[in-house]
């Protein structure tokens, strides 16, 4: 990849980042439309891990989808072993692998099993249910609008409870499970909210999200703390 095709992001320290996220578009300093890309970027930023971004292409992506990453696997314990350049794909699998390597913390290890189950369910609600409605030919637009509204309303209810619990946090982010720290579902939720807010091709979804002030406030606080170098969505 040429130097002009990538640009350093989120400079939290010196040196060249070992992770490059291929996001489908160049658009440096901006969120891209893919909720899965925003999810992965949020996961790395929550952990303070630096990365580069590059455009890449779904044609050359290992699983035909954005995001995928170039990174270096850790050296095995054997003498003389060196790190290997590898390509990973699928936001969830990328996150799992980086957590196994210790590049990012294992957020699931820090929460109770029952919270892990909730976290997984909330992530699936967005990634496997809400996202599915993009191409769900067997439902009418009215039926899809109803399903979507129900999902966003549920997240709004959860976030209102979390925010009330953490009122003393002032302008700091609050998290979907109501804890002190983000979980995997926060990365997904932030990705999906921002994606809807910047995607001009989804005006109906945007209207629904904008009708729940706490969803906007949640994303706003995360943006201000973790993505201050990115252009914010139109207010």
Ligand X SMILES: N[C@@H](CCC(=O)N[C@@H](CS)C(=O)NCC(=O)O)C(=O)O
Residues that bind ligand X (CB under 6 A): 34, 36, 58, 64-67, 90-92
Q: d(Cα 98, Cα 71) in Å, to the nearest integer?
A: 9
Q: How many CA atoms lie within 13 A of 78 on its CB side?
A: 1
State the distance between the two ends of the chain, measured CA to CA, in whole angstroms.
Answer: 35
- 73 vs 89, which CB is nearer to ligand X? 89
- 153: helix, strand or coil: helix
**Least Å distance between CB 122 and ligand X?**
15
Q: 119 with 108: CB under 8 angstroms?
A: yes
Q: d(Cα 113, Cα 108) in Å, to the nearest integer?
A: 8
**Least Å distance between CB 82 and ligand X?**
28
User: Any idea what DSSP says for residue 177?
Assistant: T
| Count of beta carbons in the 10 Å neighbourhood of residue 100 | 12
**Least Å distance between CB 90 and ligand X?**
4
- 114: helix, strand or coil: helix
**Least Å distance between CB 30 and ligand X?**
15
**Least Å distance between CB 25 and ligand X?**
11
Closest among 188, 232, 226, 227 to 91, alpha carbons compared: 188
Closest among 220, 210, 155 to 188, alpha carbons compared: 155
**Whole-number CA gyration radius for the chain:** 18
Look up residue 90 and give its two tokens: 């699928």
**Least Å distance between CB 8 and ligand X?**
23
- 64 vs 203, which CB is nearer to ligand X? 64
């Amino acid at each position: 990849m040429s130097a002009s095709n990538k640009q350093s992001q989120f400079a939290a320290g010196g040196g060249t980042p070992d992770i490059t996220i291929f996001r489908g578009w160049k658009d440096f300093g901006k969120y891209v439309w893919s909720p899965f890309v925003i999810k992965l970027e949020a996961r790395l930023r929550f952990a303070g891990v630096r990365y580069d971004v590059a455009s890449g292409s779904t044609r050359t992506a290992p699983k035909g989808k954005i995001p995928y990453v170039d990174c270096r696997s850790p050296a095995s314990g054997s003498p003389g072993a060196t790190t290997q350049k590898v390509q990973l794909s699928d936001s969830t699998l990328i996150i799992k692998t980086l957590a196994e390597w210790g590049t990012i913390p294992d957020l699931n290890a820090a929460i109770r099993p029952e919270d892990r189950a909730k976290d997984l369910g909330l992530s699936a609600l967005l990634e496997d249910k809400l996202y599915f409605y993009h191409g769900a030919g067997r439902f009418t637009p009215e039926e899809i609008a109803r399903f979507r509204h129900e999902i966003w309303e549920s997240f709004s209810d959860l976030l209102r409870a979390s925010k009330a619990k953490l009122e003393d946090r002032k302008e700091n982010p609050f998290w979907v499970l109501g804890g002190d720290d983000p979980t995997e579902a926060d990365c997904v939720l932030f990705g999906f909210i921002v994606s809807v807010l910047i995607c001009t091709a989804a005006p109906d979804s945007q209207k629904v999200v904008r009708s729940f002030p706490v969803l906007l406030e949640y994303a706003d606080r995360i943006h201000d703390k973790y993505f201050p170098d990115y252009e914010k969505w139109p207010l």
